């Protein structure tokens, strides 16, 4: 079991090194860096350069606006410089963002991503074996030219793991079929949703998975309200209530609500966004919904809360870094206790 810290999206190039060093010092296995208001590849580079042991994964790189060749070159360099500590997470994003935010070509998410991963792996093979001609011809991507001058050549590091951020059934099956890992979304981390939707979806895709690929690793990107006492936990729970309300206003995440009979919550939240009533959104979430999608516990109770919830469902979980560095000593003990409790179960 691995413990990763989720990097706040506002954490930029100037701050990511200190953040990564702190996570490494506290005993985390790795960190997830976002690709949102800062470039995920640049953040990963800075985090890897600042550390010696920490794994760094992008959760998730918006793939379609970037050529697989550009991504392959950057990922290859990151894997080389870190000695194998880099993990490439990919996501498709919604069509409106791809076409209007990035002015890029839209592709069907699952089919386009399958082609994208196939292209990346073909390029990586040509990097590792320069005498092997690059010859990938897919439905959406075609790579048939890589002169020796442009080939970076082999590296003394393992192949780069490629994970998928998956929400819908087609992407879940694709993760099971071709990816090295799956990153959940905060709106689908409920243990029930993991058992009834995510794991069966991944298993369905693994039916004809390449035997040379190890089973995909499931990473649960969980929202956690934690603190030294009940008051601190309650305050963080309220903050995360607002975040969940914003996320669940997006229709792509409504299947999680429907599973529990909360199918009216999503449209209600969406209507509040249309009316500009952002301050009213948090109150629209039932307390039972928060119990399903948040882990809320004091530091003392957190190891059992996390292990009891996910021990048989995932091999990696996220745990935030508190803003207050004065809590670092206790958090170091909490990280060690989570591992011990996980093993004990």
Can you give the pLDDT at residue 342? 85
For residue 36, how many C-alpha atoms fall within 13 Å in the half-sphere facing its CB?
Answer: 10
pLDDT digits (tens, 9 = 90+) for 309-335: 998 999 999 999 998 999 999 999 999
Tokens 């091999």 sit at which residue?
315
d(CA 248, CA 253): 6
Distances (CA, A) of 72 to 116, 163, 219, 263: 11, 14, 23, 40
Give residue 148's pLDDT band: very low, low, confident or very high (50, 70, 90): very high
Q: Is beta strand 142-143 parallel, antiparallel or unpaired with respect to 162-165?
A: unpaired
Q: Is beta strand 61-62 parallel, antiparallel or unpaired with respect to 294-298?
A: unpaired
Q: Classify residue 184 as left (phi > 0), alpha (psi -120 to 50) or beta.
A: beta
What's the whole-number mean pLDDT along residues 194-223?
A: 94
pLDDT digits (tens, 9 = 90+) for 25-40: 999 999 999 999 999 9
Give residue 65's pLDDT band: very low, low, confident or very high (50, 70, 90): very high
SS (H, E, C) the chain: CEEEEECCCCCCHHHHHHHHHHHHHCCCCEEEECCCCCCHHHHHHHHHHCCCCCEEEECCEECCCCCHHHHHHHHHHHHHHHCCCEEEEEECCCHHHHHHHCCCCCCCHHHHHHHHHHHHHHHHHHHHCCCCCCCEECCCCEECCCCHHHCCCCCCCCCCCEEEECCCHHHHHHHHHHCCEEECCHHHCCHHHHHHHHHHHHHHHHHHCCCCCCCCEEEECCEEEEECCHHHHHHHHHHHHHHHHHHCCCHHHHHHHHHCCCCCHHHHHHHHHHCCCHHHCHHHCCHHHHHHHEEEEECCCHHHHHHHHHCCCCCEEECCCCCCHHHHHHHHHHHHHHHHHHHHC
Can you give the pLDDT at residue 93? 87
What's the whole-number mean pLDDT along residues 125-145?
A: 96
Please report the domains of the chain, with CATH numbers, ordered by start residue. 2-228+300-344 (3.20.20.30), 229-298 (no CATH)
Lowest mean pLDDT among 43-52, 91-100, 264-273: 91-100
Average pLDDT along the chain: 95
Can you give the pLDDT at residue 345? 65
Distance of CA 334 to the CA centre of its chain: 22
Given a cut of 90, whether residue 135 has pLDDT beyond it is yes
Can you give the pLDDT at residue 222? 93
Give residue 9's pLDDT band: very low, low, confident or very high (50, 70, 90): confident
Q: Is beta strand 2-6 parallel, antiparallel or unpaired with respect to 30-33?
A: parallel
* 196 token code pair: 């009834």
Given a cut of 90, whether residue 181 has pLDDT beyond it is yes
What's the whole-number mean pLDDT along residues 274-289?
A: 95
Q: Is beta strand 2-6 parallel, antiparallel or unpaired with respect to 217-220?
A: unpaired
Give residue 298's pLDDT band: very low, low, confident or very high (50, 70, 90): very high
pLDDT digits (tens, 9 = 90+) for 221-240: 999 999 999 999 999 999 99
Given a cut of 90, whether residue 55 has pLDDT beyond it is yes
* 12 token code pair: 């930029």
Peptide bond into 60 cis (omega under 30): yes
d(CA 9, CA 23): 16
Given a cut of 80, whether residue 344 has pLDDT beyond it is no
């Amino acid at each position: 079991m691995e413990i990763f810290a989720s990097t706040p999206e506002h954490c930029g190039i100037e701050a990511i090194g200190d953040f990564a060093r702190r996570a490494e010092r506290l005993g985390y296995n790795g960190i997830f860096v976002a690709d949102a208001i800062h470039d995920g590849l640049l953040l990963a580079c800075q985090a890897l350069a600042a550390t010696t042991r920490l794994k760094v994964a992008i959760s998730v790189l918006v793939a379609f606006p970037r050529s697989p060749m550009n991504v392959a070159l950057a990922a290859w360099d990151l894997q080389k410089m870190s000695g194998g500590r880099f993990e490439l997470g990919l996501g498709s994003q919604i069509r409106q963002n791809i076409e209007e935010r990035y002015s890029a070509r839209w592709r069907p998410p699952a089919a386009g991503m399958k082609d994208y991963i196939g292209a990346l792996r073909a390029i990586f093979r040509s990097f590792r074996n320069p005498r092997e001609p690059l010859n990938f011809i897919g439905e959406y991507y075609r790579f048939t030219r890589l002169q020796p001058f442009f080939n970076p050549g082999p590296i003394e590091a393992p192949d780069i793991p490629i994970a998928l951020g998956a929400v819908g059934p087609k992407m879940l099956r694709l993760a099971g079929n071709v990816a090295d890992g799956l990153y959940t979304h905060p709106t689908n981390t409920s243990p029930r949703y993991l058992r009834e939707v995510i794991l069966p979806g991944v298993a369905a895709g693994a039916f004809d998975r390449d035997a040379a690929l190890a089973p995909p690793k499931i990473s649960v990107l969980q929202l956690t309200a934690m603190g030294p006492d009940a008051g601190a936990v309650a305050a963080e729970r309220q903050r995360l209530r607002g975040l969940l309300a914003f996320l669940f206003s997006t229709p792509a995440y409504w299947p999680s609500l429907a599973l529990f009979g909360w199918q009216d919550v999503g449209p209600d939240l969406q209507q509040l966004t249309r009316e500009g009533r952002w301050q009213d959104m948090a109150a629209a979430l039932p307390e039972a919904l928060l119990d399903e999608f948040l882990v809320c516990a004091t530091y003392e109770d957190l190891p059992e809360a996390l292990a009891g919830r996910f021990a048989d469902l995932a091999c990696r979980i996220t745990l935030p870094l508190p803003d207050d560095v004065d809590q670092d000593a206790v958090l170091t003990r909490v990280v060690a206790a989570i591992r011990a409790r996980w093993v004990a179960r």
